[in-house]
Amino acid sequence: MGITHHLAATGVPPTLFISDADVEQLADWASAVQALRQAYASDVDPAMLPPRSMARGNGLWLRALTAVSPSGGHLGCKLISASMTHRRASYLISLFDQTTMGLTALIDGNRITGIRTAATAAVAVDTAAPRRPLRVAVIGSGFEARGLLLALASVRALAAVQVFSPTPASRERFAADMHSQTSLEVVPVASAQDAVQGADVVLCAARSRDESPVLRGEWLEPGMTVVSIGSTLPEQREVDEQVLARAHLIVADMVEEVAHDTGDLLAARRADVDVSSKLVSLSDFVSGKAVRQNAADIVVYKSVGSALQDVVTAEMLLARAREQGVGTPLAHSIVPVSK
């Protein structure tokens, strides 16, 4: 009766709830990368992608990211609630139809967060890196590191992969797991510097316990592409000042937030590194408005995550859910009102 009444009263389909398990069933890396590549190649008005907001309490915070999709289909929001005291977090993505303003879907955003972060990084690397099988260094062995490598492997041939994580068992497990999923020969190495040596691409998805940088600029070689996703707040560090000093381009998914809200960029500014002249948006990089000038240039992609990534990925998953009959229609939902 609830769903029938809702349809009769509003003409708006019921809200579809998509669980984290549903997301796992629906997602694949290549489709996520393609959806995000298309979004970043679009002309996105900055007003469609405002800065995130963050409410902080004692040992907890609530972050909100909002965006209007360039597809014309939905506008949406991701909410992240997190308690550092209790080491717990929840992620919720809501999608609203751009025509009816109906609440189209509520989606558990836990897995989507990892998917969109890695898939967007793959878009950046695919744009920046040379057109040949790539030699890849991975610093980190957790969920984010796995996603970065899998997303990149879905769109580019990889010639060699080396991984460093401080715990030998963790890097051995990472190598075995990645080999079982991709058939890639992933070689565990004893230091981050060893992993970086000779690489075309460096994937950073690790922060040290004391927030000291895990990647140092002195290790970088001409022509490298660096991905850094682990410093998204002022108190966090992942790469040192020299990495950003040596970069010819710093490509950012959210330019102002990367510049002013990440520990890496704040530290670089304190060290008098001119980061402003190097910062470009991922949209400009993908569309060709900003380019690597020379093959020897070092390009750094810095990500804090954006609602555009969440909404575009969620839209892709929603379309698949409808096609495959996945998800749970809710008996009650928000009823749009005339204004």
Q: What residues does each domain of the chain span?
A: 2-113+307-329, 114-302
Q: What is the pLDDT, as a whole number, of residue 12?
A: 79
Q: Which of 99, 94, 14, 337 is nearest to 6 (CA)?
A: 14
Q: Cα separation of 127 and 123, whole Å?
A: 6
Q: Could you state, in chain order, the average pLDDT of each consecutive group of 10 residues for the chain (339 residues)? A: 49 92 97 96 90 94 96 96 95 97 97 96 97 97 96 97 96 96 95 98 89 95 97 91 98 94 95 96 95 96 95 97 97 90
Q: Are strands 225-228 and 186-188 parallel, antiparallel or unpaired?
A: unpaired
Q: What's the rounded Cα separation, in Å, for the pair 262 and 36? A: 23
**What pLDDT does residue 9 have?**
55
Instruction: Tell me the pTM.
Output: 0.93
Which CATH architecture fits 114-302? 3-Layer(aba) Sandwich (3.40)
Task: List C-alpha distances in Å: 231 to 13, 237, 303.
Answer: 40, 5, 8
Rounded Cα distance, 87 and 84, in Å: 5
Per-residue pLDDT, 16: 98
Print burial letters for 189-228: b (CB count within 10 Å at least 16), e (below 16). Answer: beebeebbeebbbbbbbbbeeeeebbbebebbeebbbbbb
* Per-residue model confidence (pLDDT) at position 10: 58
Pick from 109, 97, 33: which is nearest to 71 by CA? 97
2-113+307-329 and 114-302 agree in CATH topology: no
The DSSP H or E segment spanning 318 is: helix 307-324
Taken in order 271, 272, 273, 278, the sign of the CA dihedral is: positive
For residue 42, how many other CB atoms are within 10 A of its CB? 16
2-113+307-329 CATH pick, 3.30.1780.10, 3.90.1640.10, 3.40.1160.10, 1.20.1250.20: 3.30.1780.10
